[in-house]
Chains A and B, each alone.
Chain A
């Protein structure tokens, strides 16, 4: 992507962020499905990747998503205690807590969002996706990880 395109993106009022969402198979993916079948509107900005568990989300995935040009990353798993694999999301939570603070330290605050949503919470899923999209939209396009060629 050339610099001019990026500038256009930034000044473009109709610019919409693209967010990659890692959803756990057992809760959040089903939650997103419920939101869909219940006809609850949520922003079309997210592109969903289904993972077995939020504990499967390696921090590499998150950072690689940013370097590959995604404007935001959203990770969603089961509520603590509801994990299909008993403790996968608890392990993930510690990881994300540290990663979140490190990203803040490196000046990449808010680009990566974390949430819990169960299979019965279609409404909550839609609300939180709206919220995450709004936050990332305010940050603007992800140009910090752009290479020169």
Chain B
């Protein structure tokens, strides 16, 4: 089966389930993907009426994590009296993980959420394509067969899907949201743990300290501190982010390397044990920084240290909200 037909099938199942949920009044609003206003993107859409369901789409450019819009204090998701609306959300595996994470952190009430589970077939790494095309104007993007076809005024370029698939999707093991049938219509599964070798990051660990610094320096140098990665992240819902605090100022507002490093270090630290590996941060990056390496490392640290994978269920307490008397402390100074 080609990617194109897979997409069609998924899209149809989304529409069918969305229609059913709205007509049976099980949900008040459905959050889904719709056609983007600029090429190579998709836009989140909030659907409240049954006749609008046809605006929902699914393709391999639906890289946004919709759980972002469930984060607390979003005024759209309450009625005029401030009561929480019942929400349906189109859930690929990582959206499901993010919803579970938000529930585990007591930020959403799963009773108000109904996932429309799909069997995700992965996302294209949009920044890679963007960088390759450069400054040429894109007029049309379509997916036919197994290729992404990008058209301009007098040019056309083919990008084979399996070469431009997002790195995180390549190693993804939660393509279907991990939840129970009560909170999910459509496809769902109940996962307790996943087995991951982290073979893709093993090579990096062999580098020396200086090589690591050079690599990180090189990959983060183009960063302009636009905070797109923060805005797209479903786990970044603080009312006042540390970058916006000015008493005290935790880091300077220049785009020199030290400031960039501090931002990415602390951002990564905040996501430890919480990152759901959706890859939204690297997909929205305007300068195409590969944040997936950091994402994978975070997952590895937490898996190896605490044997925990974020977002598989809504009950397990995330490791950074917990403590234990017998945690490993091999990194601490000891007398010889």
Contacts and interface: CB of A to CB of B under 8 A. Distances in A.
B333 A64 contact: no
Contacts of A95: 320
B269 A99 contact: yes
Interface in A74-125: 80-81, 87, 90-91, 93-110, 113-116, 124
A109 B213 CA distance: 10
A148 interface: yes
B196 interface: no
Contacts of B262: 63-64, 67
Contacts of A96: 331
Q: How large is the interface on A (under 10, 10 to 19, 20 to 34, 35 or more residues)?
A: 35 or more
A87 B323 contact: yes
A49 to B, nearest CB: 14
B301 A114 contact: no
B48 to A, nearest CB: 41
A100 B269 CA distance: 10
A148 B252 CA distance: 13
Interface string B250-278: 11101010110110111011001100000
B151 interface: no
Interface in A48-65: 59-60, 63-64
Contacts of B323: 87, 90-91, 93-94
A109 B325 contact: no
Interface string B324-336: 1101110111110
A102 B273 CA distance: 13
B209 interface: yes
Contacts of A94: 319-320, 322-323, 327
B198 interface: no
Nearest to A98: B272
Interface stretch (A1-9, A29-37, A139-147): A139-147
A102 B327 contact: no
A98 B318 CA distance: 13
Q: Which of A64, A106, A108 is most buried by chain B, counting CB atoms within 10 A of its CB?
A: A106
Interface stretch (A12-20, A38-46, A127-135): A127-135
Contacts of B332: 114-116
Nearest to A106: B216
B242 interface: yes
A11 B151 CA distance: 58
Interface string B288-307: 00000010011001100100
11 contacts: A59-B269, A67-B252, A67-B259, A90-B323, A93-B327, A95-B320, A101-B305, A105-B294, A106-B264, A107-B210, A145-B261
Interface of A: 59-60, 63-64, 67, 80-81, 87, 90-91, 93-110, 113-116, 124, 127-128, 131-132, 144-148
Given A107-B214, A108-B213, 19 more contacts: A63-B262, A64-B251, A67-B258, A67-B262, A90-B325, A94-B327, A97-B327, A98-B302, A102-B268, A102-B301, A106-B261, A107-B212, A108-B209, A114-B332, A124-B335, A131-B333, A144-B258, A147-B254, A148-B256
